[in-house]
Amino acid sequence: MYRYDEFDRRFLEARVAQYRDQVRRRLAGELSEDEFRPLRLMNGLYLQLHAYMLRIAIPYGTLSPEKLRMLAKIARRYDRGYGHFTTRQNIQFNWIKLEETPDILAELATVEMHGIQTSGNCIRNVTADPLAGAAADEIEDPRPYCEIIRQWSTLHPEFSFLPRKFKIAVSGAVAADRAAVRVHDIGLYLRRNAAGEVGFEVLVGGGLGRTPMIAKTLRAFLPKRQLLPYLEATLRVYNEFGRRDNLFKSRIKILVQSLGIEKMREAVEAEFAVMGESPLELPPETIAAISAHFAPPPFAAAAEEDEAALEEARASDPAFARWVARNVVRHRVESYAIAIVSLKPPGRPPGDVTAEQMERLAELAEIFSLGEIRVTHEQNLVLPHVRRGDLPELWWRLRAADLGHANAGLASDIIACPGLDYCSLANARSIPVAQDLSRHLAARDHEIGELRIKISGCINACGHHHVGHIGILGVDKNGEEFYQITIGGSADENAALGAIIGPAVAADAVTSAVDKLIDVYLRERREGERFPETYRRLGAAPFKEALYAAH
């Protein structure tokens, strides 16, 4: 994990002092809200429906126990005892007092955390595969490159006031995509070319929101050393030609759509060529120095008794066996495993975790996961380095903290934004819909198998509804909450946008509507076929008939 040097620490301390003075001036009436707004947003502070919300960056989703304990402290001392993990691998606190925010940022700075660039028209928190550095299917750990991008992009003088916010995701897996790379402004896949060299496939123009699009390949193979110059060239083209006259047409995806990928590629390559031998090129020693912060931890040697203990526990406890089957992923080291910690027990708001649970997870990470925790874009947490023989003890302790639910990737593992319960942009509530669905579907989870349900409270799509197997979008109809349903979406390596199935349904009809769609899937699916594949094979007709036949 990257650790700050003296420059980083001095920079963060200066930023906190600057912000403290800005808050003092606002509270004293020396700054109006219009003057203060861009200043607070640069530090991750939003004004929501009922209170201020503070968004804290978790770069590439990697946490230490020390950082998680600090987040627990913030939740307990300054909020209402819990935090909310987001689809951007960040955490939000929804009940913050303005006058206390400088103290919060000062405390966060002591553990190398902040809210910088979690808002605004800049390069936001760089996200990554949450299994990075642990997954068995990885070409390389992508986190060193995420850190390089983070350092380059922080307060970048040329890209701090882009036409619109800008999101980058990086994955190092050979084929699987666990970072939703194709729905980002720029997506990066680590690839190996025919000569055996490792570089990047660069994608551009993905995104959700009002005009959802899947990213297109800009460069099939980019040498590692050219990563920052090529990103800079792409951002320069966007900064120059991206629209600033229309908020709804200002994302890079609209530029790519209007130019076409060929002309976009020509513009980027021309800018890249003009840059020539750039000082931003990454020499091997720079990559090695950053990569050293992400060196594999000291794994213990395999022990026969570990596997015996695991098999005995699976045989004797069906609940534990179900958890292993759903929430445990193969590790690159045979004697270890990756454990997904579900934050989706039936009836809980997705992504919410209490201060006590954060403290418990910090302790469990120290005991069982070599001091690492990850955040997923699916609003769960991961313990990436667990000895296989320790899985039974870990699960028992997770279960005692209400964190041992065996539903990762199942129907009750729902993604949802905060919606109208908190967000000033929302048209409808997301959380109650997710709670009702998760309570109802939990009993059917293992019958259904993998199913990705995603809910957004408005067209901004923070709940990623466009790429849900079943997506649910809250809309306002004459002051009443209705929900538009899409089916067939996917955020993985086969990324696809869901199709609207028909008219929106009332709030009290959402659960029965989802049930009907699932019933069609269970009746029609072939062996090994997931919901999107069944939909693509059959088309919308049987799903639409089941949903609307009685109307």
Per-residue pLDDT of the chain (551 residues; tens, 9 = 90+): 899 999 999 999 999 999 999 999 999 999 999 999 999 999 999 999 999 999 999 999 999 999 999 999 999 999 999 999 999 999 999 999 999 999 999 999 999 999 999 999 999 999 999 999 999 999 999 999 999 999 999 999 999 999 999 999 999 999 999 999 999 999 999 999 999 999 999 999 999 999 999 999 999 999 999 999 999 999 999 999 999 999 999 999 999 999 999 999 999 999 999 999 899 999 999 999 999 999 999 999 988 889 999 999 999 999 999 999 999 999 999 999 999 999 999 999 999 999 999 999 999 999 999 999 999 999 999 999 999 999 999 999 999 999 999 999 999 999 999 999 999 999 999 999 999 999 999 999 999 999 999 999 999 999 999 999 999 999 999 999 999 999 999 999 999 999 999 999 999 999 999 999 999 999 999 999 999 999 999 999 999 999 998 55
CA atoms within 13 A on the CB side of 537: 11
β-bridge pairing 453-456 and 415-416: parallel
- Reference 337, options 402, 383, 396; nearest CA is 383
In sign, the C-alpha dihedral spanning 406, 409, 411, 416 is positive
In sign, the C-alpha dihedral spanning 488, 512, 504, 252 is negative
Instruction: For the chain, give the number of residues.
Output: 551
DSSP letters spanning 523-539? HHPPTT--HHHHHHHH-
Query: How many whole angstroms separate alpha carbon 66 and alpha carbon 365?
Result: 10
| Residue 494 CA: distances (Å) to CA of 18, 169, 183, 222, 532 | 45, 16, 11, 22, 10
Query: How many whole angstroms separate alpha carbon 474 and alpha carbon 491?
Result: 20
Contact between residue 85 and residue 351 where contact means Cβ atoms under 8 Å apart: yes
Quick one: DSSP state of residue 219? E
Domain 6-109 classification at class level: alpha beta
Tokens representing 57 are: 């960056």
Whole-number pLDDT of residue 550: 59
CA angle centred on 132, ends 127 and 137, rounded to 5° = 125
CATH for 415-548 (3.30.2090.10, 1.20.120.790, 3.30.413.10, 3.90.1300.10): 3.30.413.10
173 Cβ contact partners less than 8 Å away, ≥ 6 residues apart? 129, 131, 135, 137, 138, 139
Contact between residue 376 and residue 342 where contact means Cβ atoms under 8 Å apart: no
Task: Locate the domains of the chain by residue range.
Answer: 6-109, 134-293, 304-400, 415-548
β-bridge pairing 373-375 and 381-387: antiparallel
AA letter at 238: Y
CATH 3.40.50.10740 fits 304-400, yes or no: no
The end-to-end CA distance of the chain, in Å, is 56
The superfamily in CATH containing domain 134-293 is Sulfite Reductase Hemoprotein, domain 1 (3.30.413.10)
Query: How many whole angstroms separate alpha carbon 473 and alpha carbon 428?
Result: 8
**Which burial class, exposed, middle or buried, applies to 512 when counting CB atoms under 10 A from its CB (0-12, 13-18, 19+)?**
exposed
CB atoms within 10 A of CB 34: 7
Query: How many whole angstroms separate alpha carbon 90 and alpha carbon 125?
Result: 8
The domains spanning 304-400 and 415-548 adopt the same CATH topology = no
- Reference 538, options 522, 551, 525; nearest CA is 525
DSSP letters spanning 271-340? HHHHH-S-TT---HHHHHHHHGGGPPP-PPPP-HHHHHHHHHHHHH-HHHHHHHHHHEEEBSSTTEEEEE
215 Cβ contact partners less than 8 Å away, ≥ 6 residues apart? 181, 182, 183, 184, 186, 187, 203, 204, 205, 206, 207, 253
Query: How many whole angstroms separate alpha carbon 420 and alpha carbon 19?
Result: 29
H or E segment to which residue 95 belongs: strand 91-96
Which residue(s) pair with 471 in the sheet?
454, 486
DSSP letters spanning 455-513? EESSTT-TT-GGGSSEEEEEEEETTEEEEEEEES-B-STT-B--EE-SS-EEGGGHHHH
Residue appearing with tokens 């997904």: 340
